[in-house]
């Protein structure tokens, strides 16, 4: 699936109508009909349905839904929230068809009348506002949306929950809290925005027959789904040896935080790395070795329990490096981190405290010739950009894209909808994972999986998207049977990797 902005959706629509010659009323018929079929699968004929229609094409979809339901023996009540003269074009055409099919339309005279309509219905179909919303809500939509949210009725939104913006940038809005949203043709960006996702409820896409060539190569944002993993994840060659699956180096840890590198190493081995070496402070090695028998060690000199600057590390024999987890934020450790990142001629993944050290001197990553992968969560992204977390929440797609382009790096912006960006500005949103992953250690495990993935035979962007998918899928499988979102630990996810790899082998 592509992920579109409102403007991109309008452009696709324009292409369909002007270049491919599709009539706009047919697109509206297809949209309304497809959504009506979904409504039929959710609602019984005996239930009362209230269709709320606005003045634009979203409202036009509402008339088609009402007509289709009426034709199938339902008795929908259509409540028009805009003046008659505001309804034009394809929406007016479908309004007239609904009337011709025997439908009647009621008009909201005063905002507070809405409670009477809501009390008399079981189901609300929200066809008030779609992607055409601009500015703050005008009456009566503000009051109607609040009233719908206050009553406990099954609420089904058309294309987008009314009031929710389609694009990035708007944090403050009043929107319908839908139970279901049937998104027309392609998910809009806000489906994947942390502050908007919940409004959509259970969402899915309905196709309305827009010509594929209208946008096949133009939209740079996509979802990463199971089918893509199936077609890109390399299988293990029967004649391979440990060297064929990558020799990875993990640099991090400290006396106070030995656990994180242990988790990264274990996850990396479970995700298919051939050999893993942990470079960490010498006093942490014996405790880590007990957790991770399969790893080898590179003891590092320390100062007050953290990695010190004054040492040479031979990084020449590794295929990829992960650096930063559990290393702390001491200045000395930072100097060494930047030296290693600048010197390494292989892919380097930078996480956690490593990101802090890099944020002090971003030219270190910009100047690198080999691939660089940064894996910040929203707080770390704000640090890298020297901005607020609120700004990252408001603009995750555009900030990630511009950062990747500017510094020539691969970026894995971690969150409920993790976004992988490449240096050309392409983006993929992961579709697995649950709230059980919002815990300490999750990032360390993900870094380990990604380290393994980037050492296998797959394109860098595929490796990163596959790694995120596998990490989330392991957590999803675990909360179905063995665990819950409350008790799930990062170490459970490492063990849970088996269930995911078995389905892809």
Ligand X SMILES: NC(=O)C1=CN([C@@H]2O[C@H](COP(=O)(O)OP(=O)(O)OC[C@H]3O[C@@H](n4cnc5c(N)ncnc54)[C@H](O)[C@@H]3O)[C@@H](O)[C@H]2O)[C@@H](O)CC1
Annotated binding residues for (6S)-NADPHX, as ranges? 57-61, 130-136, 159, 326, 377, 444
For the bound state, the minimum distance from the C-beta of residue 162 to ligand X, rounded and expressed in Å, comes to: 8
| Inter-residue contact 310 to 285 (CB < 8 Å) | no
71 vs 315: CA distance, rounded Å: 71
**Cβ neighbours for 195, distance < 8 A, ≥ 6 positions apart:** 171, 393, 394
Query: Annotated binding residues for K(+), as ranges?
Result: 58, 126, 162
Residue 444: name its binding partner from ligand X, K ion, none (Cβ under 5 to 8 Å by kind).
none
How far out from the chain centre does Cα 468 lie?
10
**Cβ neighbours for 197, distance < 8 A, ≥ 6 positions apart:** 190, 191, 416, 417
For the bound state, the minimum distance from the C-beta of residue 500 to ligand X, rounded and expressed in Å, comes to: 36
Question: Which member of 55, 80, 157, 372 binds K ion (CB under 5 A)?
Answer: 157
Residue 162: name its binding partner from ligand X, K ion, none (Cβ under 5 to 8 Å by kind).
K ion
137 binds ligand X (CB under 6 A): yes
159 binds ligand X (CB under 6 A): yes
For the bound state, the minimum distance from the C-beta of residue 54 to K ion, rounded and expressed in Å, comes to: 8
Question: Which member of 55, 68, 162, 302 binds K ion (CB under 5 A)?
Answer: 162
431 vs 79: CA distance, rounded Å: 36
| Inter-residue contact 61 to 36 (CB < 8 Å) | no
**How long a stretch of residues is the chain?**
505
The smaller minimum CB distance to K ion, of residues 166 and 267, is found at 166
Question: Which member of 49, 50, 158, 364 binds ligand X (CB under 6 A)?
Answer: 158
**Residue whose entry in the numeric block shows the structure tokens 């656990």:** 259
55 binds ligand X (CB under 6 A): yes
CA-closest candidate to residue 472, choices 400, 412, 416, 410: 416
Encoding tokens for residue 10?
């309008």
- Give the interface segment with ligand X, choosing from 157-165, 255-263, 283-291, 326-334 (CB under 6 A): 157-165
Residue 44: name its binding partner from ligand X, K ion, none (Cβ under 5 to 8 Å by kind).
none
DSSP state of 233: S
CA-closest candidate to residue 108, choices 154, 152, 59, 72: 59
- Give the interface segment with ligand X, choosing from 131-139, 218-226, 352-360, 462-470 (CB under 6 A): 131-139
| Inter-residue contact 413 to 378 (CB < 8 Å) | yes
Question: Which member of 3, 4, 22, 27 binds ligand X (CB under 6 A)?
Answer: 27
Q: Which residues between 46 and 105 bind K ion (CB under 5 A)?
A: 58
Question: Which member of 3, 4, 22, 28 binds ligand X (CB under 6 A)?
Answer: 28
Dihedral over alpha carbons 162, 166, 432, 491 (to 10 degrees) = -100
- Give the interface segment with K ion, choosing from 71-79, 124-132, 143-151, 192-200 (CB under 5 A): 124-132
For the bound state, the minimum distance from the C-beta of residue 225 to ligand X, rounded and expressed in Å, comes to: 22
Residues that bind ligand X (CB under 6 A): 9, 13, 27-28, 31, 54-61, 86, 129-138, 141, 158-160, 184, 208, 210
């Amino acid at each position: 699936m592509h992920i579109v902005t409102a403007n991109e959706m309008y452009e696709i629509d324009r292409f369909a109508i002007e270049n491919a010659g599709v009539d706009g009323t047919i697109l509206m018929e297809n949209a309304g009909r497809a959504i009506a079929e979904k409504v039929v699968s959710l609602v019984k004929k005996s239930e009362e349905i209230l269709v709320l229609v606005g003045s634009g094409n979203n409202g036009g979809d509402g008339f088609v839904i009402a007509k289709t339901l009426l034709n199938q023996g339902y008795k929908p009540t259509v409540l028009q929230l805009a003046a008659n003269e505001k309804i034009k074009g394809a929406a007016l055409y479908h309004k007239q068809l609904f009337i011709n099919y025997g439908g009647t339309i009621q008009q909201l005279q005063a905002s507070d009348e809405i409670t009477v309509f809501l009390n008399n219905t079981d189901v609300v179909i929200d066809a008030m506002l779609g992607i055409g919303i601009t500015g703050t809500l005008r009456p009566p939509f503000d009051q109607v949306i609040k009233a719908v949210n206050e009553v406990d009725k099954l609420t089904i939104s058309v294309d987008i929950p009314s009031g929710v913006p389609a694009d990035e940038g708007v944090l403050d809005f009043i929107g319908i809290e839908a139970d279901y949203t049937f998104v027309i043709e392609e998910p809009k960006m806000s489906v994947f925005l942390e502050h908007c996702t919940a409004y959509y409820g259970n969402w899915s896409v309905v196709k309305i027959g827009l010509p594929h060539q209208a946008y096949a190569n133009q939209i740079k944002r996509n979802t990463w789904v199971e089918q893509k993993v199936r077609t890109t994840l390399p299988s293990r060659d029967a004649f391979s040896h440990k060297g064929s699956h990558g020799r990875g180096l993990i640099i991090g840890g400290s006396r106070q935080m030995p656990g994180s590198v242990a988790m990264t190493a274990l996850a990396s081995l479970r995700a298919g790395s051939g050999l893993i070496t942990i470079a960490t402070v010498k006093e942490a090695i014996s405790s880590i070795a007990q957790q991770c028998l399969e790893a080898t060690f590179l003891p590092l000199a320390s100062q007050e329990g953290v990695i010190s600057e004054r040492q040479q590390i031979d990084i020449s024999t590794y295929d990829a490096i992960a650096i930063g987890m559990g290393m702390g934020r001491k200045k000395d450790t930072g100097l060494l981190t930047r030296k290693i990142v600048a010197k390494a001629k292989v892919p380097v993944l930078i996480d956690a405290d490593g990101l802090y050290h890099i944020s002090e001197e971003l030219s270190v990553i910009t100047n690198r010739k080999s691939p660089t992968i940064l894996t910040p969560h929203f707080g770390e992204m704000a640090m890298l950009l020297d901005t607020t977390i609120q700004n990252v929440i408001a603009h995750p797609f555009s900030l990630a894209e511009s950062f990747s382009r500017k510094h020539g790096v691969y970026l894995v912006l971690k969150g409920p909808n993790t976004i992988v960006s490449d240096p050309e500005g392409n983006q993929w949103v992961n579709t697995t994972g649950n709230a059980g992953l919002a815990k300490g250690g999750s990032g360390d495990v993900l870094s380990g999986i990604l380290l393994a993935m980037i050492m296998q035979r797959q394109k860098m962007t595929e490796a990163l998207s596959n790694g995120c998918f596998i990490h989330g899928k392991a957590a999803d499988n675990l909360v179905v049977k063995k665990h819950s979102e409350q008790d799930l630990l990062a170490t459970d996810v490492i063990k849970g990797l088996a269930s995911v790899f078995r389905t892809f082998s």
